[in-house]
Structure 1
């Protein structure tokens, strides 16, 4: 299709449909309500189904059931809603069921407020539910990238038989930009060996479970999952370098915050100041090696987030003692301005 002007939430929904998602289970919460609204209108027309569950807890368990059949399923929510889904996410990861989850972040903690924030980094990358599980976490910074990553998310979910999260924020959900959304063929993954409902082809009953009462069996299962997460770290790291090759001040930021930081970098570059950025696209797996390499050449690393310093911990692990690190955060739904970032960098220089 040609480039069309769309709201972020609707672009994500249409991208999922073009990627082959026919089943959506969810519950409304601001600021992502346009995703379920869009799905409720479009999916029945293409032979799919939209189900509004009675709660986020019910929705994520419906996702588990739908995904267990080997079909492309999706849900979306915002911060407190994702908290309610955390137990189900742990179950889905434990059962090795592919699913795509979109979190359009709002300010917290608790109910907080409906304005944008990035306070769910820990929840997404370190696991909000119980046990040793990981989500693949993709963080777009433009609506076109949100479209592309949403479609990629279904590929990755089936490649690893693992839930994949799109971590956006309220700005991205509510802004409008021109995007191009095409039918996405993706990779073909043979789901028959593990999906439910294929007893005739498989020759025996399929059992998907996360409950292993024998400790030796459970440990073996955890080691198996951990090998998969290691493979993600080897094969799926994604990031963008922006004027990072000679940066004396290296910014690390993701999502909308990185987009704002780009404007500050361009302004400062015009003044001859060597400022650049590493933008993680995958928050898990985190681009430790890229941040480590670029921080070797930098005199200072500046982490900018709409939270109180969550990605900061991963940046510290990557940088170590190579360069001093500063943090510049906002919270409560307040975003950084270009001028604020410029002023902070001038202060560092």
Structure 2
């Protein structure tokens, strides 16, 4: 494999193309705009379609249409743009249409700023739109993973017929690192449900309206059987020096890379620290948390928000050990300050 220096946003776009994405529908918003720019340059050259829609609402409904026809399609945006797309995402989830939705997060609420943020955790992991549904959520931590998770995202989307969200901080979207390019494209699975023309069969119809109560309930139970399968099979996390840790830090995305150094430094200063990095934010890797809670004394959630993932950590530990929190807003904490917080928690807890 050859290696190329790429921005995270560009690597993600290239990964989507390698996975067979041939339709991008979006509306520019920093810090995600490089994805649209890359797709605008590349897709027309390979027989794909790039459309800068008149709005985020239009863009997500174009994704609905492209996915209904069986194509691998995607959109990318950031906080306020994703908020506008939520109705369409709910429709896509109910219709069981596989697609890729990228959130290169900015600060909030409101317009916020383009600084790094993880404030959209609730939006991504709790569905975000109306009704009972989930999206499968991946959180990359490197430029290489931006590419790899785009490819993996389409694989998961097609396997489970579900929209897959990739959530990355704005810093990661603009971080330049060497990326190993894959030479091959992924295979397309058969999609017998797609609305892709008359083929001598019963017409396929994509519909999300279920007026009879019994029909609506049956539909939701069907969806949640699928979500249960995803939760059983697709939880992913990375662990680092957890086995003998007294304090386990839980962090995701680019922030987790920073904290690896903090963990090593804390151990040099006599505190046995470890790290769990959730890779899937939904389904949340609660088994990894529960297993670590059997041996550690305290957990520390570190997030670039006011405390969101900490709720999932507390649900996982079920009150067996305390869970502390350290957060910044629009600022990626440096290793030294996280080390200080680890040492401070250890001192407060008496070890």
| Band of TM-score, shorter chain | over 0.9
2-side partners of 1:183 and 1:138: how far apart?
23
1:305 matched to 2:303? The reply is yes
Contact 1:143 1:179 survives alignment (8 Å): yes
Q: Which residue of 2 aligns with 1:30?
A: 30
Deviation at 1:143, TM superposition (A): 1.0
Deviations along 1:23-54, one digit per CA (max 9) or x if unpaired, are 10000000011100000000000011100000
Q: Which residue of 2 aligns with 1:74?
A: 74
| Matched position secondary structure for 1:199 | coil
The equivalences for 1:95-134 within 5 A come to: 95-134=95-134
Match of 1:345 among 327, 342, 346: 342
Deviation at 1:259, TM superposition (A): 1.3
Deviation at 1:263, TM superposition (A): 1.2
The equivalences for 1:1-349 within 5 A come to: 1-186=1-186, 188-191=188-191, 193-201=192-200, 203-331=201-329, 333-349=330-346
2-side partners of 1:178 and 1:104: how far apart?
20
2-side partners of 1:315 and 1:184: how far apart?
38
1-side partners of 2:249 and 2:187: how far apart?
34
2-side partners of 1:18 and 1:300: how far apart?
42
2-side partners of 1:130 and 1:154: how far apart?
24
Deviation at 1:187, TM superposition (A): 5.2
| Matched position secondary structure for 1:304 | strand
| Matched position secondary structure for 1:167 | strand
Q: Where does the alignment leave 5 or more consecutive residues of structure 1 unmatched?
A: none
Deviations along 1:1-32, one digit per CA (max 9) or x if unpaired, are 41111011111111111111111000000001
Contact 1:19 1:183 survives alignment (8 Å): no
Cα gap change, 1:184 to 1:16, in 2 (>3 Å): farther
After TM superposition, the runs of 4+ consecutive aligned structure 1 residues lying more than 6 A away are none
TM-score, scaled to structure 1: 0.97
Q: Which residue of 1 aligns with 2:349?
A: none
Cα gap change, 1:72 to 1:298, in 2 (>3 Å): same
